[in-house]
Amino acid sequence: MPQFMDVHDGFVGVTEDQLAAAHQADLDVEAAEGVHFEKAWLDPKSGKVFCLSTGPSKEAVMRVHEKAGHPTHEVYELAVEV
Amino acid sequence: MPQFMDVHDGFVGVTEDQLAAAHQADLDVEAAEGVHFEKAWLDPKSGKVFCLSTGPSKEAVMRVHEKAGHPTHEVYELAVEV
């Protein structure tokens, strides 16, 4: 199953609980798209969030984020990992 | 130990062996800075690379990448992980 990293901006000052809630919103709707969000990391100073996921396509990952209320266009397929 | 994600551009078409060599170049010089590069992911179509590391500071992570020959200014401290 392909792996993806996606990037969000605008999460300045977001707390762990708030990030966990956003991540849960993904988990709640991901199954229908065959996507699984494995991990999310946040830098609350810059507001950057990185999400690591697996799924059938970039578009499926984007649809889950959209349904969960935090869309992003920055989704990269991680064809190589070391 | 703080955790960091850094982002590189310009790795379009890079192969797994080439990424592994770049990652090894980091591993070879990281100890002096107390940094460890845990993982690197590449999207060879867009040329984006994401590196996950631990270390004492953002600057230490940047110095290792510089010594290894692939500097980046995009380094984010991942204060929150879910």
Cβ atoms of residues B66 and B6 within 8 Å: no
In a mutagenesis test of the A interface, which of B7, B37, B76 is the best target, namely the one with the most A β-carbons within 10 Å? B76
pLDDT at position A15: 97
Asked, for residue B64, whether it belongs to a domain, the answer is yes
Q: Is B81 on the interface with A (CB under 8 A)?
A: yes
Asked, for residue A12, whether it belongs to a domain, the answer is yes
pLDDT at position A56: 98
Yes or no, beta carbons of B76 and A46 under 8 Å apart: yes
pLDDT at position A3: 98
3-state secondary structure chain B: CCEEEEEECCCCCCCHHHHHHHHHHHHHHCHHHCCEEEEEEEECCCCEEEEEEECCCHHHHHHHHHHCCCCCCCEEECCEEC
Domain of B24, CATH number, reads 3.30.70.3090
Asked, for residue A82, whether it belongs to a domain, the answer is no
Asked, for residue B82, whether it belongs to a domain, the answer is no
Q: Closest-CA residue in chain A for B38?
A: A82
Q: What is the ipTM of this complex?
A: 0.96
Asked, for residue B9, whether it belongs to a domain, the answer is yes
pLDDT at position A31: 98
Q: Of all residues in chain B, what percent carry a pLDDT higher than 70?
A: 100
pLDDT tens by residue, A31-61: 999 999 999 999 999 999 999 999 999 999 9
Nearest alpha carbon to residue B40 among B27, B29, B28: B27
- Could you list the residue range(s) of the whole structural domain that residue B51 is in? 3-77
d(CA B23, CA B13): 16
pLDDT at position B55: 98
For the segment B45-68, the average pLDDT, to the nearest whole number, is 98
For the segment A4-28, the average pLDDT, to the nearest whole number, is 98
Asked, for residue B24, whether it belongs to a domain, the answer is yes
Q: Is B15 on the interface with A (CB under 8 A)?
A: yes
Question: What CA dihedral angle connects A50, A56, A57 and A58, to 10 degrees?
Answer: -10
How many domains is chain B partitioned into structurally? 1
pLDDT tens by residue, A61-70: 999 999 999 9
